[in-house]
Structure 1
Amino acid sequence: MKSVVLSALLLAVAGAAVAGPACNAPKEKWMPEAAFKKDVEAQGYQIKTFKVSKGQCYEIYGTDKAGKKVEIYFDPVSGKAIEQK
């Protein structure tokens, strides 16, 4: 029983360490998704996948100008990158 509880605790800690940043702005202040995507693509990124992360940030998976794979979290209000993996 202890090993099950310990395993669950370790998974929870590991999941928290992998999770992205948190964005706390109210949704009515967010940049529209279409405008955000257009802005990011104008910066040279190609978006393969776009989503709203669990932490309520805009998140993209795709490639940068050089064709390198990227995973980036953005502030949904300003559109600025806040974390890249």
Structure 2
Amino acid sequence: MKSTLVAALLVAATGAAMAGPTCTAPKETWKKEADFQAELKQQGYEIKTFKVTKGNCYEIYGKDKADKKVEIYFDPATGKALESK
């Protein structure tokens, strides 16, 4: 029983550690998705997937201008990169 509880706590902690950042800006201040994607493409990013995360940030999967795979979280209001993996 004790090992089951420990295992459950480890799984919960791992899930929380793997989650991305949380963005708190009101949605009315967010950059439009299409406009933001266009900005990223002008910077040389190739976007394979663009989404809004559970934490209300923009996230892209794709490649940078050096053709390196990227996963980046952005603040949807400012466009600032918050975290990359």
> Which TM-score band (shorter chain)?
over 0.9
Structure 2 Cα separation of the partners of residues 54 and 40 of structure 1 = 21
Q: TM-score, normalised by structure 2?
A: 0.95
Write the mapping of 1:18-37 to structure 2, written as runs, cut at 5 A: 18-37=18-37
1:72 aligned partner? 72
Identity of aligned residues (%): 66
AA matched with 1:8: A
Q: TM-score, normalised by structure 1?
A: 0.95
Residue 49 in structure 1 maps to residue 49 in structure 2: yes
AA matched with 1:56: N
Structure 2 Cα separation of the partners of residues 5 and 52 of structure 1 = 33
CA RMSD, aligned part only?
0.8
Structure 1 Cα separation of the partners of residues 13 and 73 of structure 2 = 21
SS in 2 for 1:23: coil
2:10 aligned partner? 10
Unpaired stretches in structure 1, ≥5 consecutive residues: none
Q: How much does 1:55 deviate?
A: 1.2
Structure 2 Cα separation of the partners of residues 3 and 27 of structure 1 = 43
Number of aligned positions between the proteins: 85
